[in-house]
Structure 1
Amino acid sequence: MASLNPERRFKRPAVFVCDIQEKFRPTIYEFDKVILTTRKLLLAAKALKIPIYVTTQNRPRLGDTVAELRPLLDAAGDLVRADVDKTRFSMWLDPIASGIAPQSEVVIVGIESHICVTQTALDLLAAGHRVYILADGVSSSNREEVSVALDRLRQAGAVVTTSESWIYECMGDAKIPEFKEIVGVVKETMGDTRAALKSLVGSKI
């Protein structure tokens, strides 16, 4: 039986931001919408004090995390548990794996859906975590790759959902202290949410 006391639905949430870098800006389908959804997720993570893990792929060649997200990551402070450069096509690296709680509820945004997002999700599932992929927060250079990747990840055991759904499921109760702040985030980003859903989701879920 559920308790009458307000408590969050997710006990060990974590946010993974995968390779949202400057050099990918011209090549990724609706890259700006991925940034919008990631921005919203980072605002919610800060309000809910959710750990954040960030990677870049070959940063010397492909650039840092995009400028739009750096201030939010800086503002998150100690919530950013790892900001790691990599060559591997998965975020599941020792500095991240060693810091994440067992059986976490991990949400992934970033690129590319069929490469680094997919391999990260598969590794997380194999390690016993619950994995959520935001359909309004992932993309690839070829848009056709996205739906194939989401279908594969769904079959592998990941949950394909949207940013607003995940944020509210993470809370689970309107009586938690952070609820009003999250409502503010949702209202502030309402236009961004609609734009990302229209461009990235459509009928892909």
Structure 2
Amino acid sequence: MLKASKILNIPVIATTQNRARLGETCAELNLDTPEGITTLIHADKTLFSMWTPEVREVLSKLFTPLSCVIVGIESHICVTQTTLDLLREGHKVYILADGVSSCNKEEIPVALARLRAEGAVVTTSESWLYECMGDAGIEEFRAIAKLVKDTSGTTNDALQALAKI
């Protein structure tokens, strides 16, 4: 999704949960590196929700309401609390089922069912990407189609893991 955001010029907001105690967001994501993904903000937080004062300030400068795509770990904690906060503020929220996880895999379907009932759209990364593009005639289509093809193995693995829960 980070590579897709770069292709489609979609702003990225990232947070790290309590960097001092838990460490940096994984380096493999290449957040805020010259060859990686530039974020609007990459904030440290202790709140479980990423709807922090710093994030609110940055997002207040964008058009609202926003369509927000959520990926992340601890679907039943940070993903849930962020989604509930965004929904409360009137934003549309998409949760990418193949882009969330939990250290307790049984938590994932419970969190996704709750968030769907609260009004979030639970979908998959590929489905959301094609919905976002809307037309194979756009300039970015070929790059996104290649990215989907190149990552189909890991996407399939994530979806198979979800299907077993």
Per the normalisation by structure 1, the TM-score is 0.75
The equivalent of 1:91 in structure 2 is 50
1:184 to partner: Cα distance: 1.4
* 1:165 and 2:142 matched: no
SS of residue in 2 equivalent to 1:54: strand
Structure possessing the higher relative contact order (Cα contacts under 8 Å, 6 or more residues apart): 1
* Residue ranges of structure 2 left out of the alignment (5+ in a row): none
SS of residue in 2 equivalent to 1:140: coil
1:203 to partner: Cα distance: 6.5
1:139 to partner: Cα distance: 1.2
Distance 2:32 2:128 in 1: 20
1:47 to partner: Cα distance: 0.1
Per the normalisation by structure 2, the TM-score is 0.92
1:99 to partner: Cα distance: 2.1
The equivalent of 1:180 in structure 2 is 142
* 1:52 and 2:12 matched: yes
Distance 2:32 2:150 in 1: 18
Distance 1:59 1:155 in 2: 32
Distance 1:174 1:203 in 2: 33
Contact 1:89–1:115 (8 Å) recurs in 2: yes
* 1:64 and 2:24 matched: yes
1:195 to partner: Cα distance: 1.1
Q: Report the number of matched residues.
A: 160
When the two chains are superposed, the root-mean-square deviation of aligned CA atoms in Å is 1.3
Paired AA for residue 25 in structure 2: T
1:94 to partner: Cα distance: 1.9
Paired AA for residue 163 in structure 2: G
Query: Runs of 4 or more off by more than 6 Å in structure 1?
Result: none
Contact 1:42–1:73 (8 Å) recurs in 2: no
Paired AA for residue 4 in structure 2: A
Distance 2:37 2:9 in 1: 8
1:88-167 aligned at under 5 Å gives the runs 88-100=47-59, 101=62, 102-167=64-129
Paired AA for residue 188 in structure 1: D
Decide which of 28, 31, 37 is 1:76's aligned counterpart: 37
Q: Deviations over 1:115-147 (max 9, x none)?
A: 110000000001111001111111112111111
The equivalent of 1:202 in structure 2 is 163
SS of residue in 1 equivalent to 2:96: strand
User: Structure 1 residues 52 and 190 mapped into 2: Cα distance closer, same or farther (>3 Å)?
Assistant: same
Q: Deviations over 1:54-88 (max 9, x none)?
A: 00111011111112112x542233xx101000000
* Residue ranges of structure 1 left out of the alignment (5+ in a row): 1-40
Distance 2:164 2:32 in 1: 31
Distance 1:76 1:59 in 2: 19
SS of residue in 2 equivalent to 1:114: helix
